[in-house]
Amino acid sequence: MIGFTKSLAKELGSRGVRANAVAPGFINTSMTAQLSEEVRNNLIAQIPLGRFAEVTEVASVCRFLASDLSRYITGQVIRVDGGMMM
């Protein structure tokens, strides 16, 4: 997906099309709520911000990328993972 995003950015940039990807980490959802407390705590221990993301935090990044505020950003992968993959 990352390679595809970068290829699209190169191919379509001259036509004014931007292509970016969002790579979320763990998010508080009904799916992650089913994790055992032990598994959840082990995952949280790996996240520098010490918690799972809220859905709105990921949505805000998507909204930014879809807006004109990001009109000079293309070919990027934006991680929304609380620092987990640093």
Q: pLDDT of 10-61, one tens digit each?
A: 999 999 999 999 999 999 999 999 999 999 999 999 999 999 999 999 999 9
Number of domains composing the chain: 1
Among 72, 64, 63, 76, CA closest to 8:
76
Tell whether 60 is covered by a domain: yes
Asked whether the whole model's pTM tops 0.75, one would answer yes
* Parent domain of 36: 2-80
Q: What is the CATH number of the domain that holds 16?
A: 3.40.50.720
Among 29, 20, 28, CA closest to 2:
20
Tell whether 85 is covered by a domain: no
The SS3 call for residue 7 is: helix
